Amino acid sequence: MKHDKFTWFKKINSPIVFQGHIKRKNYFEGWYYRQVSEDRKKVICFIPGVSLVEGDAHSFVQYIYVSEDKEGKSRIKTGYVTYPVGAFMFSNTPFSIQIGDNVFSETRVKVNLIDKDIRIVGTLKLGSFTTIKKSILMPNIMGYFAYIPNMECNHGVISMSHSIQGNLQINHEKVVLDNGKGYLEKDWGTSFPKKYIWVQCNNFTNKSISLFCSIAHIPFLKNSFTGFICNLIVDDVEFRFATYNNSSFDIVNISSNGVKILLDSNKAMLEIQCVINECGELRAPKKGRMGDKIKEESAGQIKVRLYNKKNKKTYEEYGDMVGIEIVGY
């Protein structure tokens, strides 16, 4: 697999490609592929990546699988499968990463994972990505912060929504994902924020809606601040709320059961209300080492209420199979 050289500027504009290099220290990079079945009863996420720390450098594929049992209760299975760092290979044009027998690209996910009491095998085809708006000042979802080097954690939203075709075999269970929905984002740097909220959903009553929202503690120079990014797409119209475009936010209430957030920009006001049911445990990076433990809800509920200041219309929609992480609050 060829290791194409991308310029620094080209990488910023293409967050899907490998942003680091294997010889970096105290560094992590991970891609988050999320798939929801058409009947919204199953979610499976794969997080391929690298952890580059002295004495424990390795590549990995992390997974979280949520399904309903016969009584309608959620079953959650998570795992972290390690590989030698040399098992990680990548290509930037076209983008593809390979870790052992697992391949992740812009058009497919091919997995052959064996972990303790579970085996996940299969190939999924990914449809056309729903990308975000970009400009010189906003080369990716981080806006002009993307140009600042050595940020603790960089974030990229690669596809707000895309179609899925294919099946997975999870032990003796066939998981049908034909006509399902996918989402793709990634993170890279040294550590996850010590305090953050993350919400993602593209399974609403109105099938055109997709949402990503993140609020995080961000170390900056010798100080820190709370930064936020929220991107909402409704009927092909994008609404962006972010620190870098003079929007504002308010965490109205927050608990282990959910969160309510208000956001305001010069174009719209948005209310997000999420409900957490049951979480699975994932690993998260700290100074490159994947040693921290976090909780992720993968099948939560959400209500969004958008007021469009331009046409004076209000939209209210409900969604499920929501990804939610609340850490440090």
Collect all residues with Cβ–Cβ distance below 8 Å to 283 and sequence separation of at least 6.
62, 80, 290, 291, 292, 293, 294
Q: What is the pLDDT of residues 44-62, one digit of tens each?
A: 999 999 999 999 999 999 9
End-to-end CA distance of the chain: 42
Tokens of 325: 């992480």
pLDDT band at 4 (very low <50, low <70, confident <90, very high): low
Structure tokens at 116: 């303790």
What percent of the chain has pLDDT above 70? 98
- Contact between residue 89 and residue 97 where contact means Cβ atoms under 8 Å apart: yes
pLDDT (average), residues 69-92? 91
| Section 172-181 average pLDDT | 96
Average pLDDT, the chain: 95
pLDDT-derived band at 71, boundaries 50, 70, 90: confident
Is the predicted pLDDT of residue 2 greater than 90, yes or no?
no
Measure the CA–CA gap between 289 and 172, rounded to whole angstroms: 33
- Give the per-residue pLDDT at 5: 67
Beta-strand ranges (E) seen in 37-171 are 42-52, 58-68, 74-84, 88-92, 95-99, 102-105, 108-115, 118-126, 153-170
Whether pLDDT at 126 is above 80: yes
| Residues in CB range of 261: below 8 A, 6 or more apart | 197, 199, 213, 215, 249, 250, 251, 252, 271, 272, 273
The pLDDT score that the predictor gives to residue 72 is: 73
Length of the chain: 329
- What digits encode the pLDDT tens for the residues 233-263? 999 999 999 999 999 999 999 999 999 999 9
pLDDT category at 74 given cuts 50, 70, 90 is confident
Confidence of residue 31 (pLDDT cuts 50, 70, 90): very high
Do the beta carbons of residue 290 and residue 283 sit within 8 Å?
A: yes
The answer on pLDDT for 3 being more than 70 is no
pLDDT of residue 222: 86
DSSP structure string for 208-252: T-EEEEEEEEEEETTEEEEEEEEEEEETTEEEEEEGGGT-EEEEE
